[in-house]
Amino acid sequence: MFFSVCHPQVKMDLKLNSFSWNPMEPFIFTAASEDYNVYTYDTRYFKFPRRVYRGHTNAVLDVDYSPSGREFVTGSYDSTVRLWDCNRAESFDVYHARRMKRVLGVRFTLDTKFILTSSSDQNVRVWKAHASEKIGPVQPREKASINAAEALRDKFKDHPEVKKILKRRHLPKSVLAASREHAIIRAKHRRKERNIRVFNKKDLDYYPTTRPHSVLPTNGVWITRHVNGLLSN
């Protein structure tokens, strides 16, 4: 007796360059895409991506999870390395070196303290997973001072000036210019859809940033095709 099982599949407009399984939740994986975005999927529910992460300004080439399963790192063709919290759509840190070229591979170390990256300039670099974290023994008084500083940052993180300082990163002009351009494009699409609803009086369906289109092939396997909001009409 033979059994045929249909496994869910995901078909993207642009190819996926890499993916990584969450080590603590084996039914969740994160994929790096050519459309500049990173997608997290739950294999139990493929209709929508669980979360879409934006920030890179060129194709994302590699992704790797931290052994804790709470964070992951991505490397991109835009020569930057970004660190992400699984529960936030924006990266909490960005790394870039003056002579670093396109990032081809990224890996977390098993102690979650460091990140290894390989780039097209034929170098392998070691980065701290948390830039402000001190390496080595810490005295009790110093530890208390660090905890107090972190508590102050968490308390006032929503203040405009504090938020500006915490988010400031030194990046190449090309990356900053591309980020602004992508933000303008997304705002333009949102404004266009809003104007259609207001002036044409059309009751349009609300679409999230990623639009789902389901197709049933002849083999009976559902394929969900996601169109990125930045590239779609």
Confidence band, pLDDT 50/70/90 cuts, at residue 116: very high
Q: What is the pTM of this model?
A: 0.75
Strand pairing category for 114-119 and 103-108: antiparallel
Number of H helices, E strands in the chain: 3, 14
Phi-psi region of 220 (alpha: psi -120 to 50; beta: other; left: phi over 0): left
Confidence band, pLDDT 50/70/90 cuts, at residue 219: very low
Lowest mean pLDDT of 21-25, 37-41, 154-158, name the range.
Answer: 154-158
Q: What is the pLDDT of residue 218?
A: 37
- Residues 71/85, Cβ–Cβ less than 8 Å: yes
Query: Dmax over Cα atoms in the chain, in whole Å?
Result: 70
User: Is the pLDDT at 205 greater than 80, yes or no?
Assistant: no
Amino acid present at 207: Y
Q: What is the pLDDT of residue 172?
A: 81
Cβ burial 123-162 (10 Å sphere, 16+ → b, else e): eeeebebeeeeeeeeeeeeeeeeeeeeeeeeeeeeeeeee
What residue ranges define each of the domains in the chain, with the CATH number in brackets?
Answer: 9-132+206-228 (2.130.10.10)
Confidence band, pLDDT 50/70/90 cuts, at residue 231: very low
- Residues 20/63, Cβ–Cβ less than 8 Å: yes
Helix (H) or strand (E) run with residue 147 in it: helix 140-155
Instruction: Give the chain's end-to-end CA distance (angstroms, integer).
Output: 48
Write the DSSP string, 5-33.
-PPPEEEESS-EEEEEE-SS-TTEEEEEE
Q: What is the pLDDT of residue 202?
A: 63
Q: What is the pLDDT of residue 81?
A: 94
Q: What is the pLDDT of residue 149?
A: 86
User: Is the pLDDT at 216 greater than 70, yes or no?
Assistant: no
Percent of the chain, pLDDT > 70? 82
d(C-alpha 159, C-alpha 117), whole Å: 34
